[in-house]
Amino acid sequence: MPQRGNTESVDNYLKAIFTLGGPEERRVASKSLAEELGVAPASVTNMLQKLALAAAPLVEYERHRGVQLSASGRKRALEVLRHHRLIETFLYEVLDYPLDEVHEEAERLEHFISERFEQRIAAKLGNPRIDPHGHSIPTLEGEIPKQRSILLSELPTEGEFVIDSISDRDAQTLRMLHACGIAPGARLRVKKSSAGVSYSVRVGRASKALNLSPEMAREIRILPAPM
């Protein structure tokens, strides 16, 4: 049986590869993975080689071509992601945690809850489909809807949109956005600055515009607003 620390580290790698690969599940560069996890590139290479050479490989890895999850690696990544997002929802809806605190708490708990405990949480919450940040919760069968939203920072045109989800990675940014009413389901009217270096948004019926930096725009996913 693997040690707890090893299990947690492997889970973090699998989840990061799944996230960075995006809806297309494209190959992920080792450098991108090192930046995402905050570890040295050499450590990433060593871990990917171990995961690829295991008896039941969790990744497909080629030096200089990056890494993809194997079928079993994808299954485990989605299991951990389901744990994480169910725990976030439970903390927020049942235990009244502030929205900007649920991510770090879920990061600590996601690796170690039992399947029975996971099922009890899901039942208590009414088997939710999205977490408090607007992210889809994988099903018990390991399925997750294809992402249709785009990053605000990749918006090709101005207009009116609905916020699909907000990244939970940075608590301070999340706190700032939430204070401005920027949350899943909110409507945004978006304009780009003439220099293209910031985004002017109006939330809901607000008359005052907010200026978002490209960094903040990368934390928000949007969909076209319904007519």
Look at residue 4 and tell me whether its pLDDT is greater than 70: no
Higher pLDDT, 1 or 88: 88
Average pLDDT over residues 138-154: 91
What is the per-residue pLDDT for 185? Answer: 94
Say how many domains are in the chain.
Answer: 2
- Calculate the alpha carbon distances from 188 to 45, 136, 182, 193 in Å: 42, 21, 8, 15
Query: What percentage of the chain carries pLDDT values higher than 90?
Result: 70
What is the per-residue pLDDT for 1? Answer: 34
Tens-place pLDDT, residues 91-123: 999 999 999 999 999 999 998 899 999 999 999
Residue 179: inside a domain, yes or no?
yes
Look at residue 56 and tell me whether its pLDDT is greater than 50: yes
Q: Average pLDDT, whole number, for the chain?
A: 90
Residue 191: inside a domain, yes or no?
yes
Final residue in a domain of this structure, among 17, 37, 69: 69
Final residue in a domain of this structure, among 69, 103, 118: 69
Look at residue 33 and tell me whether its pLDDT is greater than 90: yes
Final residue in a domain of this structure, among 43, 69, 95: 69
What is the span of the domain harbouring residue 46? Answer: 4-69
Look at residue 57 and tell me whether its pLDDT is greater than 80: yes
- What single-letter DSSP state applies at residue 58? S
Kindly report the CATH number assigned to the domain that includes residue 195.
2.30.30.90
Place of tokens 């934390």: 219
Q: Tell me how far apart the alpha carbons of residues 150 and 224 are, in angstroms, rounded to a whole number.
A: 10
What is the per-residue pLDDT for 206? Answer: 82
Residue 132 tokens, joined: 């408090």
Residue 60: inside a domain, yes or no?
yes
Residue 97: inside a domain, yes or no?
no
Residue 199: inside a domain, yes or no?
yes
Kindly report the CATH number assigned to the domain that includes residue 36.
1.10.10.10
Confidence band, pLDDT 50/70/90 cuts, at residue 2: very low
Average pLDDT over residues 41-62: 94
- CA 91, chain centre distance (Å): 17
Residue 41: inside a domain, yes or no?
yes
Residue 89: inside a domain, yes or no?
no
Confidence band, pLDDT 50/70/90 cuts, at residue 147: confident
Query: What percentage of the chain carries pLDDT values higher than 70?
Result: 95
- From 96-100, 158-162, 223-227, the region with the lowest mean pLDDT: 223-227
